[in-house]
């Protein structure tokens, strides 16, 4: 049986799709057969981030409506044999996604895959609700910024009341905090809230911190998930995050301002990376 993981946030533009793409790719790199589903009906973008936009023939809604088989709609990743993408539909009909339809597709995928990643749309409407409804665990993507933190807390409320697990009286989906676009320099200058503050307010375990990075835009420009860029801080931070999700203990990197060494050392990367342990709440 596959584990279902929802990537959600409430607020838009915080990095849900970037995280879904990196996380799913990272799981596949580690031998887990993974499918990433785009739940953002009407505004699909996972295909672009994964670089498979020109191979989309059928989508999620086509399968729900019986216009295509699941196997016809799944797109195999261009590099990894055990990674698949199920694109969202571009239909304007928001009611195209139904609880029964989603259940049918997830049931079918569960026999085939180790992990099903649900890339949630922003907001708290139907798409977001269905993306989280069947989840076993959740990645809460949060920027260190007031509106994002508040929306994440709202999402935590929904996870513990509006999911199948919650309705059945089971513990809610396991919550994992993912902080993206983090800038240690701005935190040091007192103009960005710290990891510790976000964690203290939301009160859920920290899975990873992704630094603000030029690599993220480069990755989306080229349609290659940023985790593939193992020369970049964001790529490495996502790799650590996936290892942690799979149960390894990996210290957090990129939480502190890197004190610049000599030009040559910076050029050849001879300096030590600073790591830090974060106490989980």
Q: Which residues bind another protein (CB under 8 A)?
A: 145-146, 149-150, 153-154, 156-158, 160-161, 187, 190-194, 197, 201-203
Calculate the CA 43 to chain-centre distance: 17
| Residue 140 CB, nearest approach to another protein (Å) | 13
Give the residue with the Cβ less far from another protein, 91 or 194.
Answer: 194
Give the residue with the Cβ less far from another protein, 160 or 274.
Answer: 160
| Residue 252 CB, nearest approach to another protein (Å) | 19
Give the residue with the Cβ less far from another protein, 64 or 155.
Answer: 155
CA distance 201 to 210: 19
CA distance 25 to 115: 11
Q: Token match 């672009």: residue?
A: 48
Give the residue with the Cβ less far from another protein, 123 or 223.
Answer: 123
CA distance 60 to 96: 9
Q: Which of 141, 99, 106 is nearest to 120 (CA)?
A: 141
| Residue 197 CB, nearest approach to another protein (Å) | 5
Can you spell out the DSSP letters for 184-210? HHHHHTTSS--HHHHHHHH-S-EEEEE
Give the residue with the Cβ less far from another protein, 82 or 194.
Answer: 194
| Residue 250 CB, nearest approach to another protein (Å) | 26
Calculate the CA 27 to chain-centre distance: 11
Give the residue with the Cβ less far from another protein, 73 or 149.
Answer: 149
Q: What are phi and psi of 258, to 5 degrees?
A: -75, 120
Give the residue with the Cβ less far from another protein, 70 or 192.
Answer: 192
| Residue 82 CB, nearest approach to another protein (Å) | 37
| Residue 149 CB, nearest approach to another protein (Å) | 5
Q: Which of 134, 143, 192 is nearest to 9 (CA)?
A: 143
Q: Which of 117, 121, 78 is nearest to 96 (CA)?
A: 121
| Residue 133 CB, nearest approach to another protein (Å) | 15
Q: Return the number of other C-beta atoms located less than 10 Å from residue 198's C-beta.
A: 22
Structure tokens belonging to residue 19: 């995280």
Q: Return the number of other C-beta atoms located less than 10 Å from residue 48's C-beta.
A: 17
Q: Which of 202, 211, 210 is nearest to 280 (CA)?
A: 202
Q: Rounded to 10 degrees, what is the CA torsion of 224, 130, 155, 149? A: 20
| Residue 209 CB, nearest approach to another protein (Å) | 16
Give the residue with the Cβ less far from another protein, 192 or 215.
Answer: 192
């Amino acid at each position: 049986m596959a584990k279902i993981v929802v990537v959600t946030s409430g607020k838009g533009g915080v990095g849900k799709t970037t995280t879904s793409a990196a996380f799913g790719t990272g799981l596949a790199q580690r031998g887990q057969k993974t499918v990433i589903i785009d739940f953002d009906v009407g505004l699909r973008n996972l295909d672009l981030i994964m670089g498979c936009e020109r191979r989309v023939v059928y989508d999620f809604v086509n399968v729900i409506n019986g216009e295509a088989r699941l196997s016809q709609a799944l797109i195999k990743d261009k590099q990894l044999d055990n990674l698949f993408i199920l694109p969202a539909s571009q239909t304007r009909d928001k009611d195209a996604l139904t609880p029964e339809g989603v259940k049918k597709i997830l049931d079918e995928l569960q026999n085939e895959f180790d992990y099903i990643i649900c890339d949630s749309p922003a907001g708290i409407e139907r798409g977001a609700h269905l993306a989280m409804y069947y989840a076993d665990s959740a990645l809460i993507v949060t920027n260190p910024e007031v509106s994002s933190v508040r929306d994440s807390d709202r999402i935590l409320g929904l996870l513990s009341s509006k999911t199948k697990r919650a309705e059945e009286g089971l513990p809610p989906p396991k919550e994992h905090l993912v902080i993206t676009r983090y800038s240690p320099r701005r935190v040091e200058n007192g103009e960005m809230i710290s990891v510790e503050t976000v964690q203290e307010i939301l009160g859920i375990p920290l899975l990873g911190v992704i630094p603000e990075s030029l690599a993220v835009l480069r990755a989306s420009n080229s349609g290659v998930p940023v985790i593939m860029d193992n020369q970049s801080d964001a790529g490495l931070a996502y790799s650590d995050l996936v290892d942690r999700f799979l149960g390894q203990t990996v210290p957090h990197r990129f939480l502190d301002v890197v004190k610049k060494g000599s030009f040559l050392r910076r050029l050849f990367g001879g300096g030590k990376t600073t790591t830090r342990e974060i106490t989980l709440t």
